[in-house]
């Protein structure tokens, strides 16, 4: 380890703060000598991402993934800088808080669309815009969760959006494979990030996973990040369209 991503440029979307899985991935990519471009959404996040990027020697650019012109502007900026892209990490999700705290059957049309737009469609939009910059092939990676394939309390509309995200990974992998662009997801075990803050019973979910998982513990951000390094590297050159579970094995258990 230390040169797995040497000579590669990675675009990472979804660093909100120091606890973000996307930041753990950025740190691991940096360790492997990738050049990094991080995006931030809106002025509120600008300063935080600026500080974190300084630690990594990363470039930062704005991108709200619900705005096609911002995705286009981001890629245009990279093109202007003469940057090829080798890897894209998509680590973005959002649902209205009410939809994570009420029965799934009460999800509104607007809430359903919001969760799917931000959490699933954004991968499609980013992949389409990034592909022309991946002139030497590439690796696109997104983050998913077990709630895509099982019912997890309170995950609700996010689970349905993650199911759409995982299916999008397969269709994108099929479309972009002929250009030697691979598309995969990591399904991470629960991690106490800002995305988990205020989720009811989150601590008991962590305890239950640690009790039942084959490795008898929870998932660390650095483990997710090292799998992301693998997927972005040439070691994973034969891997596309997959969902890799980085969850201490929890997903395999039936009882």
Residues marked active site are found at: 145, 155
3-state class percentages of the chain: helix first, strand second, coil last, to nearest 5: 50, 15, 35
Q: What is the closest distance, in whole angstroms, from the C-beta atom of residue 75 to ligand IMJ in the complex?
A: 25
Q: Which of these segments, 18-26, 88-96, 105-113, 217-225, binds ligand IMJ (CB under 6 A)?
A: 88-96
Residue 187 in contact with residue 247, Cβ under 8 Å? yes
| Contacts to ligand IMJ from residues 187-206, by CB under 6 A | 190, 195-196, 199, 205
Residue 29 in contact with residue 10, Cβ under 8 Å? yes
Nearest residue (CB) to ligand IMJ, 138 versus 159: 159
- Give residue number: closest CB to ligand IMJ: 190
Helices 122-130, 156-176: axis angle to 10 degrees equals: 20
Q: What is the closest distance, in whole angstroms, from the C-beta atom of residue 155 to ligand IMJ in the complex?
A: 4
Expressed in angstroms, the distance from the first to the final Cα of the chain is: 37
Nearest residue (CB) to ligand IMJ, 180 versus 215: 215
Using the rule CB under 6 A, is 210 a contact of ligand IMJ? Answer: no
CA pseudo-torsion sign 208, 213, 216, 221: negative
Nearest residue (CB) to ligand IMJ, 193 versus 240: 193
Which whole-number Å values give the CA distances from 105 to 101, 144, 156, 159, 252, in the listed order? Answer: 11, 22, 9, 13, 27
Distance between CA 15 and CA 12 in Å, rounded? 7
Q: What is the closest distance, in whole angstroms, from the C-beta atom of residue 9 to ligand IMJ in the complex?
A: 27
Tell which residue, 157, 191, 248, has the closest CA to residue 22. Answer: 191
Using the rule CB under 6 A, is 92 a contact of ligand IMJ? Answer: no
Q: What is the closest distance, in whole angstroms, from the C-beta atom of residue 126 to ligand IMJ in the complex?
A: 17
Distance between CA 163 and CA 79 in Å, rounded? 32
Nearest residue (CB) to ligand IMJ, 51 versus 98: 98
Number of residues that bind ligand IMJ (CB under 6 A): 15
Using the rule CB under 6 A, is 100 a contact of ligand IMJ? Answer: yes
Tell which residue, 69, 56, 62, 65, has the closest CA to residue 27. Answer: 56
Q: What is the closest distance, in whole angstroms, from the C-beta atom of residue 76 to ligand IMJ in the complex?
A: 29
User: Which position among 97, 150, 212, 237 is part of the footprint of ligand IMJ (CB under 6 A)?
Assistant: 97
| Contacts to ligand IMJ from residues 138-177, by CB under 6 A | 145, 152, 154-155, 158
Residues that bind ligand IMJ in the complex, under the rule CB under 6 A: 93-95, 97, 100, 145, 152, 154-155, 158, 190, 195-196, 199, 205
């Amino acid at each position: 380890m230390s040169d797995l991503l040497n000579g590669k440029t990675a675009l990472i979307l979804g660093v909100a703060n120091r606890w973000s899985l996307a930041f753990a991935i950025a740190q691991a990519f940096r360790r492997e000598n990738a050049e990094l471009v991080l995006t931030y959404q809106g002025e509120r996040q600008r300063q935080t991402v600026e500080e974190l990027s300084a630690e990594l020697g990363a470039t930062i650019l704005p991108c709200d993934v619900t705005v096609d012109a911002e995705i286009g502007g981001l890629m245009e900026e990279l093109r202007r800088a003469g940057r090829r892209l080798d890897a894209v990490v998509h680590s973005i999700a959002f649902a209205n808080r009410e939809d994570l705290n009420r029965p799934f059957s009460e999800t509104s049309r607007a809430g359903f669309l919001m969760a799917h737009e931000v959490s699933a469609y954004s991968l499609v939009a980013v992949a389409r815009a990034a592909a022309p910059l991946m002139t030497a092939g590439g690796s696109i990676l997104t983050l998913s969760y077990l709630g895509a394939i099982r019912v997890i309390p309170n995950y609700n509309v996010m689970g349905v959006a993650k199911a759409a995200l995982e299916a999008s990974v397969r269709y994108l992998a099929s479309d972009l494979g002929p250009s030697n662009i691979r598309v995969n997801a990591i399904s991470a075990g629960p991690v106490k990030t800002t995305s988990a803050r205020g989720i009811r019973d989150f601590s008991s979910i962590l305890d239950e996973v640690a009790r039942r998982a084959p490795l008898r513990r929870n998932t660390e951000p650095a483990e997710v990040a090292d799998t992301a390094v693998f997927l972005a590297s040439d070691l994973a050159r034969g891997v596309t369209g997959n969902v890799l579970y980085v969850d201490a094995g929890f997903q395999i258990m039936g009882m």
